[in-house]
């Protein structure tokens, strides 16, 4: 799920997901993490150049990102599970910011 808000005059996006990995004895609502396992959030530009990646521990299922000079309007993201140095298959790419419908200014 991608949710857009404005916080402190900055467009902010919360990306949430359900974990695809099942680890025996671990539930996603626990406040503990498994060292070296989690979700990798990769941010890409229009030409599929990697802009940034963030590792999110298995105990969390969201990432908070902000529109800034390092993340342009056309940024898109993928998610993939990681374990130590190994990475699983990535999801299809989704728009991070440009999915917002922008309306024209009013009361000019």
* Mean pLDDT split into 10-residue runs, the chain, 108 residues: 89 90 62 76 95 92 90 93 91 89 79
Give the residue from 3, 82, 8 showing the smallest Cα distance to 38: 82
User: Which pLDDT does position 29 carry in this prediction?
Assistant: 58
Pairing of strands 62-66, 94-95: unpaired
Match 């004895």 to its residue by tokens: 25
H-only helix segments in 1-108: none
Report CA dihedral (69, 70, 71, 72) to the nearest 10 degrees.
50
- Give the per-residue pLDDT at 61: 92
3-class secondary structure, 67: coil
């Amino acid at each position: 799920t991608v949710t857009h808000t404005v916080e402190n005059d900055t467009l902010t996006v919360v990306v949430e997901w359900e974990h695809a990995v099942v680890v025996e004895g671990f539930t996603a609502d626990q406040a503990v993490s498994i060292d070296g396992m989690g979700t990798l959030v990769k941010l890409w530009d229009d030409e599929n150049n990697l802009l940034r990646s963030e590792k999110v521990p298995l105990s969390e299922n969201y990432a908070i990102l902000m529109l800034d000079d390092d993340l342009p309007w056309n940024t898109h993201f993928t998610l993939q599970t990681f374990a130590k140095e190994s990475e699983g298959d990535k999801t299809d790419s989704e728009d991070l910011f440009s999915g917002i419908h922008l309306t024209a200014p009013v009361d000019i």
